[in-house]
Amino acid sequence: MSERNPFSSEEQLAADANLFMLCTSPVKSAFTALPAGYHIRTCRPQELPIWKAIHFDDVETARAQEVYMTRYFDTVYAPAGDAFYERCLFLCTDDGDTPIGTCFAWQAYGHITTIHWYKIRRAYEGQGLGRALLSEVLRRLEPSDYPVYLHTQPGSYRAIKLYTDFGFAFLSDPVVGYRENHLPAALGYLKRKMPSKDYDALRFASAPEDFLSAAKTTEYSQF
């Protein structure tokens, strides 16, 4: 999901396009430790409303997207019982144990490792917290969990830079499951938004056939 922003409608369409990334082996040198004053824990059942809202930086947008977030939870996570609460991570302040970020790994389609719902609240960006949170998510994976996939959008170009640092590459396949891959059109947007050295560091790969087959098993996207 993307937040409301001041882009023109054309720019907004470009920002919200589908992109998919793959990591076959993480770049360990990209990992960092969590700064002092913060800790990572799992989401508690009573905090589900917090998780649904944390991805949006204003109350109005969070309320508007609540129905979508509930449907996504009910469709993707609820059938797995308590697995969501065992895997969903919250990044919290030590002072008050307040969630200010979230991310976790999830077995989509039953066996495909995917990164879900990466978010750091805007007020806490730029402090290395997102890198530390993603480091912890990847650190918890076993070698057998790879490759790891994620879905993102061109508007998240700062996160795309981070994903690239960790070893993720863009999938070049034209369709992933039931979603069009907008990579060719998105590259122009990314070139305008990203520093040249970050754009030039982007990598590309083709998706394994077992992943593409798994993504076609249900029309409701699980990552």
- Helix H, strand E, coil C: the string for the chain is CCCCCCCCHHHHHHHCCCEEEEECCCCHHHCCCCCCCEEEEECCHHHHHHHHHHCCCCHHHHHHCHHHHHHHHHHHHHHHCCHHHHHCEEEEECCCCCEEEEEEEEEECCCEEEEEEEEECHHHCCCCHHHHHHHHHHHCCCHHHCCEEEEECHHHHHHHHHHHHCCCEEECCCEECCEECCHHHHHHHHHHHCCHHHHHCCCEECCCHHHHHHHCCCCCCCC
Question: Mean per-residue pLDDT for 36-47?
Answer: 98
Pair type for strands 169-171 and 175-176: unpaired
**Is 28 part of any domain?**
yes
Please provide the size of the chain in residues.
223
**Is 122 part of any domain?**
yes
Report the pLDDT value the prediction gives residue 2, as an integer from 0 to 100.
38
**Is 223 part of any domain?**
no
Question: Mean per-residue pLDDT for 166-194?
Answer: 96
- Which has more confidence, 15 or 42? 42
Question: Mean per-residue pLDDT for 163-175?
Answer: 98
- Which has more confidence, 9 or 30? 30
Cα–Cα–Cα angle for 121, 118, 137, nearest 5°? 120
Report the pLDDT value the prediction gives residue 46, as an integer from 0 to 100.
98
Residues in Cβ contact with 209 at an 8 Å cutoff, skipping those fewer than 6 apart? none
Pair type for strands 148-152 and 112-120: parallel
Q: What is the pLDDT of residues 140-167, one digit of tens each?
A: 999 999 999 999 999 999 999 999 999 9
| Residue percentage of the chain with pLDDT more than 90 | 92
**Is 131 part of any domain?**
yes
pTM: 0.92
Lowest mean pLDDT segment, chosen from 9-13, 97-101, 115-119, 130-134: 9-13
Q: Total domain count for the chain? A: 1
pLDDT(8) > 70: no
d(CA 71, CA 48): 13
**Is 97 part of any domain?**
yes
Look up the CATH number of the domain holding residue 42. 3.40.630.30
Question: Mean per-residue pLDDT for 41-47?
Answer: 98
Q: State which residues form the domain around 22.
A: 16-215
Q: What is the pLDDT of residues 188-220, one digit of tens each?
A: 999 999 999 999 999 999 999 999 999 999 999
Mean per-residue pLDDT over the chain, rounded: 94
Report the pLDDT value the prediction gives residue 12, as an integer from 0 to 100.
58
**Is 89 part of any domain?**
yes
Query: 1, 102, 94, 110: which is closest to 44 by C-alpha?
Result: 102
| Residue percentage of the chain with pLDDT more than 70 | 94
Query: 118, 132, 106: which is closest to 39 by C-alpha?
Result: 132
**Is 8 part of any domain?**
no
**Is 56 part of any domain?**
yes
Which two tokens mark 93?
Answer: 């302040």
